[in-house]
Each structure stands twice: as C-alpha cells, then as structure tokens.
Amino acid sequence: MKCASRIVPLSAAVWMCFLVGGCSTPSSVPLLVNVAGKVIQQEQQHLSDDSQRLSQWYTQQRSALEAGFNADLAARDQLDADWVAQGARVYVTAREMLLEHELQTKRQIELRQENLRLAGESLDRAAIVLQQQDQLLWSATRLRQWIDQQLENSTHTETTP
Amino acid sequence: MNVNELHELVEQRLDMRWNEFTEEHPQLAAAIDRVQLIETSVERLLDDPDYHQAVQSAGRDQAMIGVAGPVIDLVDRWVGRLLGI
C-alpha cells in the first residue's frame, strides 16, 4: 500500500508534465493564429480597395476613349465614311479589349478574395480546434486529479484501522 | 516561334501602321493603351488556329518563322483589322 500511495502522486506529476510540456497548445500558437487572421483581414481590405481603384481606372479609360473619339470627330472638317468607320471600329475594339482586360482582372481579384476567405475560414477552424483541445486537456487534467484524489482517499481509508 | 517572338513581330507590324492611324485619329490613338493592344493581339493570335497553321506551313526552321510570309501576312491582317487600315 505504501508503494501504491507513492505511485499515484507520481503518475499525476508525470501526467501534468506531459500536459504542460508536450501536449497542451503552446501559448505562442493562438497568438500566431490571431496575427495570421488579422493579416488576412488586412489583405481582404487591400484587395477590396484595389478592386475599387481598378474599377474607377477602367471607367476613366472608357471615358478617355469616348472623349478621344468625340474629339477627333469634332476636329474633323470633313467627315468621310471610311474615316468614321475606321474610327468607330477601332473605338469599339479598344473598348472590347478594355472590357476583356477588366473581366480578367476582376476574375483574378475574385479568385484571390476566395483564397483569402478560405484561408481565413481555415484559421477560424484552427482556432476553434485549439480551444477545444485546450478545454479537453483541462477537463482531462481535472478528471485525472479527481481520480487521483479518489484513489488517495480509498488508500487512506484502507490503511486506516 | 515563341510568345516573345510573336510579341515582337506584332509590335513591329503595329508600329508600321500606328503612325498612320495616329495622324488620322490623334485623340483616339492617345487614349488607347498600346501595350494592352499588343498583348491582346498576341493572345488572340495564339487562340487563332490559322496562326498555328501559318507557323506550321512556314516550316520547321525556327529562325525562318519570324520572317516567313504566312505568319507576317496573318499578323498584318490582324493588325489591319484592329486598326481599321
């Protein structure tokens, strides 16, 4: 019995060392997850700003094309059909290319936004898992302490005449 | 012919007609992004089966493709259509 009474606190101590030393989440990990989450939020904000700026730039480009076409038209003394057709064709082609480029850029931004959203989601899940793990370990420690206490009590009862 | 060579060829052929276009439509030309115009032209040519056929028919000699008639004709046709000239 004497031997058993020594083993019980010893196992509790080993259990605690195991928890503190190697099994519970190191304190720096939630911090890193938190920082990574903030970086993702900042990136999302930057992307949103970039998207707005690009949208404005494409609108300006379209206006510039229209203004250029109209300015050439206004500056021309005599309008011949070929000249108007040429200008109109190039104007339309340039607008088409601009739109194509805009859609490509938009798709790239959307893809990056989606990637960031998924990364953010993964981090949120990681944070939840870490929290759950810590709670579980805390509960397990308390359960172990309770078991040890019970064992100690029973040992004490047995040894008491 | 790789993409860079095609890029150079398109730029070269576009330059030959750009001045003419600029004289006719100065304000519109100023509003057009030439770099984008070249890039889009290259992309569209690469998507065009006629371009690949022209490269094939120009022969296997890579050095000759850049100056081969069918490829230049096709690029010229494209640039002409683009600039309406």
Residue to test with chain A: of B25, B41, B85, most A Cβ within 10 A: B25
The domain spans of chain A are 32-142
Contacts of B33 in chain A (CB under 8 A): 61
The token pair that represents A74 in the structure block: 């206004």
The B-side interface with A (CB below 8 A) comprises 21, 24-33, 36-37, 40, 82-85
CA distance A42 to A62: 30
pLDDT at position B40 over 90? no
The pLDDT assigned to B79 comes to 82
**Is residue B27 pLDDT above 90, yes or no?**
yes
Confidence of residue B70 (pLDDT cuts 50, 70, 90): confident
For chain A positions 90-119, those within 8 Å of chain B (CB to CB) are 90-91, 93-94, 97-98, 100-101
The pLDDT > 70 percentage for chain B reads: 86
Q: Is the ipTM of this complex over 0.90?
A: no
Instruction: Return the percentage of chain A with pLDDT > 70, whole number.
Output: 81
The yes-or-no verdict on residue A20 having pLDDT over 90 is no
Q: Is the pLDDT of residue A8 over 70?
A: no
* Nearest CB to B84 within list A64, A85, A100: A85
Contact A151, A8 (CB under 8 A): yes
Nearest chain A Cα distance for residue B64, angstroms: 31
Cα distance from A91 to chain B (closest Cα, Å)? 7
What contacts A24, CB < 8 A, 6 or more positions away?
A: A133, A134, A137
Average pLDDT, chain A: 83
List chain B domain ranges: 3-83
* Residue among B32, B28, B22, B34 at smallest CA distance from A71: B28
Task: Confirm or reject contact between A25 and chain B (CB < 8 A).
Answer: no
SS3 for B18-85 is HHHHHHHCHHHHHHCCHHHHHHHHHHHHHHCHHHHHHHHHCCCCHHHHCCCHHHHHHHHHHHHHHHCC
CA–CA separation, A41 vs A50, rounded Å? Answer: 14
- Residue B66 has a pLDDT of 57
Q: Contacts of residue A99 in chain B, CB cutoff 8 Å?
A: none
Question: For residues B64-84, b (16+ Cβ closer than 10 Å) or e, as one string?
Answer: ebeebebbbebbbebbeebbb
pLDDT in tens, A40-65: 999 999 999 999 999 999 999 999 99
